[in-house]
Amino acid sequence: MPFPILYFVSDIFYVVLYHIIGYRKKVVMHNLRNSFPQKTELELSILQKQFYRYFCDLFLETLKTLTISKDAMLRHCSISKESVVLLNKLATEGKSILLVMGHQGNWEWAGNTFSIVAPHQLYVIYHPLGNRHFDKLMYKMRTRFGTKLIPMKDTFKSMMRNKNELSATAFIADQTPQPQSAHWLQFLHQETPVFLGAEKIALKMNRLAMFVSVKKIKRGYYELCVNEKGILRPETFTREGAFTEAHTLLLENEILKQPETWLWTHRRWKHKKK
């Protein structure tokens, strides 16, 4: 499907999803109100509509991964020159890294672009889907350009097995853990549970971590960025949770810059701190 037709279909999806079905509109508005208490109802309504337009684009862009060429992938999701220089420098030094990011921009395309451009073998931590056929489809899309997937339960074991390989292991760090095992912090004006998995692995393996941002440039175009400001050195964090708080703050700053490109349909705050 050519991109102009893809975005025409997305516009139709938007009308159906937002105006007719109203998919999770209450969840989205609830999340937006709590995250942006300073915004008026009109501003929140505009932001909600902007999000749903992005959300429909994201769904079709993800499916486009099944057929998109490498050249088109790099045109539609570029990587900053600064990021390429930094990744090549780390590769020359033989340093494997952790990548920490959120559900912002087009994270699926970002993984493809990283695998095409970066010298590191990309591994992505994922949670296998319950539907076997849909899981197989997502696996095919995510590995098409050389990315390898690690089931969440096998993360540390797999990383130890591949510890001599020049690699980058990506964690989507804004998922919702069970409250009893979570670390709690302030995120978007709310008490929020977060996983400590990336922190624990970075400390155990003494591995450099980097925050990754995916910025939307315009419709259908994104830029992947990793830079010196987003580097997290595990040896500098002496208190449990400090590493996690640092990369969560970086994500929050990115969300505030482009709030319409974060996954607001996710029930991020369904658990409350006891």
pLDDT for 154 equals 86
| pLDDT tens digits for range 124-137 | 998 877 788 888 88
pLDDT for 273 equals 83
Where are the domains positioned within the chain? 3-62, 70-259
Spatial CA neighbour of 145 closest among 217, 83, 49, 64: 64
Distance CA 209, CA 253 (A): 18
Distance CA 78, CA 253 (A): 21
Q: Which residues make beta-bridge pairs with 221?
A: 218
Distance CA 36, CA 211 (A): 23
Fill in the DSSP letter of residue 67.
T
Sign of the Cα pseudo-torsion (150, 156, 157, 162, in order): positive
Helix (H, G, I), strand (E, B) or coil at 28: helix
Helix (H, G, I), strand (E, B) or coil at 77: strand
- Reported pTM: 0.93
Cβ(252)–Cβ(238) under 8 Å? no
- Report residue 119: phi and psi, to 5°: -75, -15
| pLDDT tens digits for range 31-45 | 999 999 999 999 999
Q: Which tokens in the block code for residue 167?
A: 């690699």
Distance CA 146, CA 50 (A): 32
Distance CA 76, CA 19 (A): 28
Rounded-to-10 torsion of CA 44, 46, 47, 53: 150
Helix (H, G, I), strand (E, B) or coil at 169: strand
Distance CA 150, CA 152 (A): 6
Spatial CA neighbour of 146 closest among 177, 176, 124: 124
Distance CA 231, CA 98 (A): 10
> E strand or H helix at 223, and its extent?
strand 221-225
Which stretches of the chain score pLDDT less than 50? none
pLDDT for 127 equals 80
